[in-house]
Chain A
């Protein structure tokens, strides 16, 4: 997917949980260009449209522009993800672990790798989303926004597992940024592409990572 350098202008926004579309006007130069910019950010998966003319940005939008092409496959997978839930607790995850096969990423894989943060979403790349969805539905799962089982089609590279999980965490942003930092601290020698993080965040993760046995 093409990522135009002009999109990086969005990095001039102040750091905030939500933005008004009008905040883009001065950056983009006009109202029409601002809406085109937002449309591209939505398309890339870096932005999400909210109520009443607001939108949010993933914190990965503030990673250096040179990294954006590496984040694009992860961001596209987030856009295609489907969520499923049955009891909406850990038992759903236990069921998915036993029955679904694929490439595990984000919360649960990051937890297996680093033990830093409690996991919540069971995020799995599968060969056939339809088959996996059918299997879940026939076993009492409902599709919606709140389910903890998230399945998505494979896109991008998966040869270097640590790198892919790292890029997924980096692309997801928010709390997953801490997972990315922890992965880099533990498995830095396996990463060819690395993000940039504030020193205080790295220090926080260093202090909170469990001691390796």
Chain B
């Protein structure tokens, strides 16, 4: 499974895209990810547009699922990511090089907030790891601009406990 190559292809196909899920978390120091790719899009794409670009659209239990040609599931976000507006995700995204191509990934601050809000077992583990390895690199002014006061306090506690 080469998610880098898949991510580069997605970036080329969809243009205005930020990678936001576990794939992005790996770029920030998380060690494991599932076999899907979560993305934020600046403008909504219809399922027909995905199909025209060579993506496969399936209907599973009444829900439409988009997969790449090599079967990787893509989850698309066009409004917000864990409550953070997509425009803000784009404005704060980082650029990384993968296979000679620049792609955009969610910034560390938005990622930790999204993980904290999702709070599933895998998100808590990822958040612990991010606070441990990246706690000192968190830009608190950016966190304060995106998160509620209580969330900022909690996040500071996590970093104090783990880093």
Partner of B33, one of A18, A117, A210: A117
Given known A54-B161, A207-B65, contact A174–B121 (CB-CB < 8 A):
yes
Query: What residue in chain A is nearest B124 (Cβ atoms)?
Result: A17
In the assembled complex, B125 has its CB within 8 A of some CB on chain A = yes
Listed by A's residue number, 7 A-B pairs whose Cβ atoms lie within 8 Å are A17-B124, A18-B128, A52-B160, A56-B161, A115-B1, A118-B33, A178-B34
Chain A positions 159-174 with a Cβ under 8 Å from a chain B Cβ? 173-174
Given known A18-B161, A207-B73, contact A174–B35 (CB-CB < 8 A):
no
Using Cβ atoms and an 8 Å threshold, which residues of chain B touch A200? 120
Query: How many B residues touch A, CB cutoff 8 Å?
Result: 30
Using Cβ atoms and an 8 Å threshold, which residues of chain B touch A16? 119, 124, 154
- Does B31 lie within 8 Å of A120, measured CB to CB? yes
Q: How many A-B residue pairs have CB under 8 A?
A: 86
- Does B36 lie within 8 Å of A18, measured CB to CB? no
- Does B131 lie within 8 Å of A17, measured CB to CB? yes
CA distance A173 to B32 in the complex (A): 13
Query: What residue in chain B is nearest A204 (Cβ atoms)?
Result: B34
- Does A175 lie within 8 Å of B160, measured CB to CB? no
In the assembled complex, A177 has its CB within 8 A of some CB on chain B = yes
Using Cβ atoms and an 8 Å threshold, which residues of chain B touch A115? 1, 35
- Does B157 lie within 8 Å of A175, measured CB to CB? no
CA distance A119 to B31 in the complex (A): 8
- Does A50 lie within 8 Å of B35, measured CB to CB? no
B115 to chain A, nearest CB (A): 9
Using Cβ atoms and an 8 Å threshold, which residues of chain A touch B161? 18, 50-52, 54, 56
